[in-house]
Amino acid sequence: MSIELRGQEQLFDLWRRRLGLTLTKINALRHHQKHFNIKLYSFFALINAISYQWAMGLVFPHMAFGYDRGHYFMILFPVALLGAVFDHLSFFVTLYLIKSALKRLSHLSFIAHLACDAVIAVLATGWVLFVFIFSGWLINSIQGKHYQQKKDGTFSVVVKQQRDGKTVSSSRAPDHFEQRSAVYQKRLMDAVHRPSQNWKNITFGAIIGLSAMLPTFAHIVMFLFSIPHGLSKKKDSNPPMGWNTAICPVDARCTC
């Protein structure tokens, strides 16, 4: 076997072993850690909350620290909780994809299964839009606000009018939700067609979507760490320190 092919085999072998060991450790945590699902969900909720605050402070500081800072701070809670729902579910989908990929003998099939994580990233974009549409609608409804369309087609948020001590809304809740959906759909289309003019929204969305991209980042990092050893000219019969030679250690509790 040529040096190139041998290096390629080493690379994929090490990549598989790293993924296998990671899967085994996660399964061990699931079996031995009490309230694993609750802790995992809380972890993702915290990541989403931090990402939201970071994105707001970095991209829209005038909103995060301005007059309406209380409004945008309240949006953090539904964003964090709903974002964690998607991340929690995608975590277990990723585990299934890794488990399935490790059973494939073909390198192409192995990569194809892992590449399915890219679909999760695409779905995350749609979920992020829904989360912000719903979260903003919920907080606006609580605070007595709704959208009003201007002559140029843009929307602005206005406070419901007070009449005889009672709050009167000129917009019904379903209409408000539809208006907010239209706002975010327009922002998405603007970002696609004029990215240079909408870099703030693109940057904000990228930061918010970091938690959903964690599985994909993990695959990439493991692959990159496998390259130096896998492409070495000498075939090393021993794996790097800390990695088992088998895909999964023999353990009756391991479900991988």
Residue 5 pLDDT: 55
Give per-residue pLDDT as tens, 72-85.
899 999 999 999 99
Q: Inform me whether the pLDDT recorded for 216 exceeds 80.
A: no
Residue 153 pLDDT: 55
Taking residues 40-44, report their average pLDDT: 93
Give pTM, 2 decimals.
Answer: 0.70
Residue 170 token pair:
């000129």
CB 102 within 8 A of CB 23: yes
Contacts of 181 (CB under 8 A, 6+ apart): 133
Residue 167 token pair:
């709050």
Mean pLDDT estimate for the chain: 75
**More confident call, 215 vs 97:** 97
H/E element, 155: strand 155-159
Taking residues 221-249, report their average pLDDT: 53
Q: Domain segments of the chain: what residues?
A: 14-143+197-230
CB 39 within 8 A of CB 33: yes
Q: Is 123 left (phi over 0), alpha (psi -120 to 50) or beta?
A: alpha
Taking residues 94-114, report their average pLDDT: 83
Residue type, 202: I
Q: Whole-angstrom Cα distance, residue 99 to residue 91? A: 13
Residue 170 pLDDT: 41
Give per-residue pLDDT as tens, 108-130.
888 887 777 778 877 888 888 88
Give per-residue pLDDT as tens, 147-174.
665 665 555 566 555 444 454 444 444 4
Q: Inform me whether the pLDDT recorded for 223 exceeds 80.
A: no
The distance of Cα 128 from the centroid of its chain, to the nearest Å, equals 9
Residues of the chain above pLDDT 90, percent: 16
CB 112 within 8 A of CB 238: no
Residue 82 pLDDT: 93
* Closest C-alpha among 9, 234, 205 to residue 126: 205
